[in-house]
Chains A and B, each alone.
Chain A
Amino acid sequence: MLFSPPLKSKEEAVAPSIYTRSQYLFDQQRHAIYVRTDKLFACLFLFQWIGASVAAVLVAPYTWEGTTNTIHIHVWQAIVFGGIINSLPLFLIWKQPGMLLTRQTIAIAQMLWSGLIIAVSGGRIETHFHVFGSLAFLAFYRDWRVLITASAVTALDHLLRGIYSPGSIYGVQVAEPWRWLEHSLWVVFCDFFLLISIRFSLRDMQLMAHRQAELESSKNSVEQEVITRTAELKLSEQNLRDSEATIRAIFETAADSIITIAENGTIETANQTCEKMFGYQFHTIFGKHISFLIKQIGEDACTEDGWVKWRDNCRFRRTALRLEGVGLARGRVEIPIEISLSFVNLNGKKLITAIVRDISERKEAERRVSEFYSIVSHELRTPLTSIRGSLGLIEGGMTGDLPIETLELVNIARESCDRLIRLINDILDLKKLEAGKFEFHKMEIAPSELLGMALAFTEGMAKERGIRLEQGWTTEHPVVADTDRLNQVLVNLISNAIKFSPKNGTVELSATIAENAIRFVVRDQGKGISKDQQHKLFCKFQQVDSSDKREQEGTGLGLAICKAIVEQHGGAIGVESDTDKGASFWFTIPVSSGEFYKPTEDSADPSYVVVIDDAKELGDLLNKHLLPSRCRVIHMQNSEDAAKVIAERVPDLVIFNVSRSDERDLELQEQLRALYSVHNRPVVLFTNSAAGLEIPSPVHVEWHKRPVREEIVVRDIKRAVDFSNCPTILVVEDDSGTRKTLVHQLGKYGIRCLEASGGEEGLNLIANENPELIVLDVGLPDMNGFDFVKRLREEHSCKSLPLLVYTGRDLTVTERRDLTIGFTRYLTKSRASESDLVNAIDELLEKVRVDVEAKADS
């Protein structure tokens, strides 16, 4: 194994291609060495041949016989015998260089040359060095086999000539029989070192071949990598070009203007849409300040200073800033725009990208939608309000007692009207909430007050259905909210709870503080809602039971509206429930950061109230509610005693629960009439029907059907105390039905109404009749409500007139501002109940009264 190639290393084992390649390179190199050495030997053979011939000629060219000479046989020997020796190896070198046979023939021939030279020299020992020189020369092949052959030939030559011609090999006539062995051993000695040299040389060659193979492999890998990377790079470049082309196409064909702006506000790039939108060629706007194209962003003018503010605003935002504004097209034409500003950092270059959209059409559409809503609001709500009001009056017996069947039909009609109004209101509310156009009139309010209001609204419904409402622990920490809207949410949740609670069930209310929010909870004892149905509760037109057989009516919009209202207050809404375990609807409203709410003290003077009722129920009820208002309540169980008491001291108010016997008590009637006419004191009658009483209309503050609703009784009593003087108000309403209904409704409360069907007529009445308050509809035929108010402002005497705007439209803040004059309140038809209307009128008149007194005092 001395001359075998190196064993495979681990690396070679795992990289067979390198090993194979190294073997190939090694073999190639060996072959090249063989061919090269063959050529060297060819030269050597020729040199030896010529040299021997020349030497023969020079030393002894002739052989003599006296004076006659012939060519010396040595000369022939050198030429012919040398030629024979050279012939075959030269032929093989020519025909098949690098082959083993050629090498072996060369080895034999070369050793024959050594033998020839030794022989010619007569066995001179010095010429034996030719043998060693020849072996060294043969070692050029780095092939141990040629050395073996050459050595064998030499040994054989020594052996044979030692026997047959020792003088020609050893220079002696008689040689020892072992002498050839001695010479051969010296040859072997020489071979030993040459073989070692060959081994090392082969190993080095193998190593170099292996390294070259590795290098080639690395080079191939690198080249392959370069090719792959180059291909990838080309692909990436192509993709980049495609991407750039795509982006450029998108940029240029985008429906919106895309402008990149430097930090200092100068325009750097703009797409074709920008050119079309603003009417400028790009080269005319390049480098100009953005204020050249944008006049206003949001509410701010886009000046150079204003731009800095928006730029800094963009820089610290993660998302784009989207605002409406005003653009300036060619000719300084203003166009409404929506502008999205975003900050871009491109390798240190800071830019603002502005995407500008022309929203002229959208604005127009919005205007049309708004107009549509306005029309719908007005045209639907106005007649429905009239219908409801009229039905309410008929139902209340204003037109006289109705047959039971008729009364039931009227009741159905009124309730259906209510439902229709609720549906319209819900749809309109939801539309506005979704569009984000719902305006909230937020104020600080205590949760307890919110719950109280909601309870007052729903108490009657609860009693009708035999449901008990219980208010649990309630925090006094205030929230900032739109009272009406939050009340709407609570009423909706409580109504639902009542509707779905079993008879004699309980609905619990609570408001607790939790994590900077007030958590309102309405818990019922209904059949609960399964988990898989809870997710659709707050969706539009969704009801847990949507079948035709469902027990409870509803539009399916209530909870969706509640969700929108709560979310726009920054809160959340949800439900916790399980089947047959009731449901807990909850919502949260962030707490107010202000101080705790402090309820205002009632500044009304203590009032002396006489209650005439054969039962104690009404007296207790009034005591409960009126004591906090510092009212003193005297309860009389019969009309005789009552007459005596009234005679002793004139009460501020008489509450008379009229019975059939009382209808015939002429003395009491006369006393009450005197009470009103002489002492100008109101009387409140509770009766199923007042038809039998002959009491002047103004005294009839309210008819209440039993069972009595506490909050309404309290409200009416409070109002009655203040109705010592009948106010005169002007109702400006183009819809005659609504107008008449209003007049009738207000007339019940002793309010004298002046009627005007248009603005001009209304202004004339104001000038001639001096009404104390104006109830104004916005949509008037000859002039709208805004113009009407504008005209009022122009009249100095009218500037302090209290105004109740009573319209079917949901007014925006701006519209409210434009409709404000002096003390002004706003009610929406169909949303506001009759009591809301009367309360608002009360409130406004009270404010005027307080204001007048304050001025008088000062």
Chain B
Amino acid sequence: MYLRRSARMALLFGLWLTLLFFGTFVSLNYEKTPARVAQAANPIAPNSSTLPDTAKEFQLLMFAHPQCGCTKASLAELARFLSRNNNISTRVYFIVPHSYESWKDSETVKSASRIPGVEVTVDYDGVIAKSYQAAASGECFLLDRKSSVLFHGGITGSRGHEGGNAGLDQISAIVRSNSRLTANNAVYGCALFDAKDK
């Protein structure tokens, strides 16, 4: 009786641990799965008018979905980066479909607007984003004065997670060394466009 009960408890306990591992695995897997973005971005900005301030040495563009929760982490990382680097002009494009006009007042847009040195621009129907071939919320482009793309990718280590990451480290390195090296990084965020629009 005691053994049967112990066995039952052991089975139960084992099942529980299994489910816990499975859940953990799914969570980690989701967080570590990057968005599908263009592997090779355009080396030159398609339109200089899309750049915020060409007077500065570097321009950083970020495309974001106004409803994406994960983008908050990207904005937080952006804010942390900008607090240390002021020679970069930064613009965040929020892709707002015309039929979702209200999205431009979302909490994510507002929080982006509160970041010093960030210019928030609504990109209706993602025209500009599409010109850059941007596909995921939080996808960034670092350009120099010649509108050459020095960096392309995300600035978080996983979906929705703040903290040190390779993308931000690469941007910092480019800016600090003032080099013309190019770099890419995975982007963790929601898709900017519907699947049929891609």
Which residue numbers of A lie inside 8 Å of B, CB to CB?
59-69, 72-74, 77, 80-81, 84-85, 87-88, 91, 101, 105, 112, 119, 122-124, 164-165, 167-168, 170-174
Contacts and interface: CB of A to CB of B under 8 A. Distances in A.
Nearest to A91: B12
Contact of B16 (A88, A167, A170, A171): A88
Given A65-B190, A66-B191, A105-B13, A174 B20 contact: no
A169 to B, nearest CB: 10
A333 B84 CA distance: 141
Contact of A67 (B26, B97, B166): B97
Given A65-B194, A66-B195, A168-B161, 8 more contacts: A67-B99, A84-B19, A88-B13, A105-B16, A122-B162, A164-B28, A165-B32, A167-B165
A839 B190 CA distance: 170
Nearest to B76: A122
Contacts of A112: 20
A77 B27 contact: yes
B191 A60 contact: no
B105 interface: no
A94 to B, nearest CB: 13
Contacts of A167: 157-158, 161, 163-165
Contacts of B194: 65-68
A63 B190 contact: yes
B27 A122 contact: no
A59 B69 contact: yes
Interface in B20-78: 20, 23-24, 26-28, 30-32, 65, 67-70, 73
B160 interface: yes
A381 to B, nearest CB: 116
B192 interface: yes
Contact of B31 (A65, A80, A124, A168): A168
Interface of B: 9, 12-13, 16, 19-20, 23-24, 26-28, 30-32, 65, 67-70, 73, 97, 99-100, 137, 157-158, 160-166, 190-195, 197
The list of the 5 closest CB pairs from A to B, nearest first, reads A60-B69, A66-B194, A122-B161, A171-B163, A65-B191
Nearest to A123: B163
A64 B28 contact: no
Contacts of B163: 122-123, 167, 170-173
B19 A101 contact: no
Contact of B165 (A64, A67, A91, A173): A173
Contacts of A165: 28, 31-32, 158
B16 A174 contact: no
B21 to A, nearest CB: 10
Given A66-B192, A119-B27, A84 B16 contact: yes
Contact of B162 (A60, A63, A171): A171
B160 A173 contact: no
Contacts of B192: 66
A123 B163 CA distance: 8
17 contacts: A63-B70, A65-B191, A65-B194, A66-B193, A67-B100, A73-B30, A77-B30, A87-B16, A88-B12, A119-B27, A164-B28, A165-B32, A165-B158, A167-B158, A167-B161, A168-B28, A171-B164
A388 B118 CA distance: 175
A168 B13 CA distance: 25
A673 to B, nearest CB: 153
B136 to A, nearest CB: 10
A81 B30 CA distance: 14
Contacts of B158: 122, 165, 167-168
A450 B147 CA distance: 175
B31 A64 contact: no
A90 to B, nearest CB: 11
A289 to B, nearest CB: 94
Contacts of A87: 16, 19
Nearest to A60: B69
Nearest to B99: A67
Contacts of A74: 69, 160
B84 to A, nearest CB: 16
A65 B67 contact: no
A124 B163 CA distance: 9
A64 B162 contact: no
B190 A64 contact: yes
A116 B187 CA distance: 23
A60 B160 contact: yes
B164 A173 contact: yes
Given A164-B28, A168-B28, A64 B16 contact: no
A105 B190 CA distance: 37
A69 B30 CA distance: 16
A84 B12 CA distance: 12
Contacts of A60: 68-70, 160
B83 to A, nearest CB: 17
A429 B17 CA distance: 124
A39 B165 CA distance: 42
A84 B13 CA distance: 11
A72 B195 contact: no
Contacts of A172: 163-164
Contact of B166 (A68, A77, A173): A173
Contacts of B31: 165, 168
Given A64-B190, A105-B13, A77 B195 contact: no
A220 B12 CA distance: 47
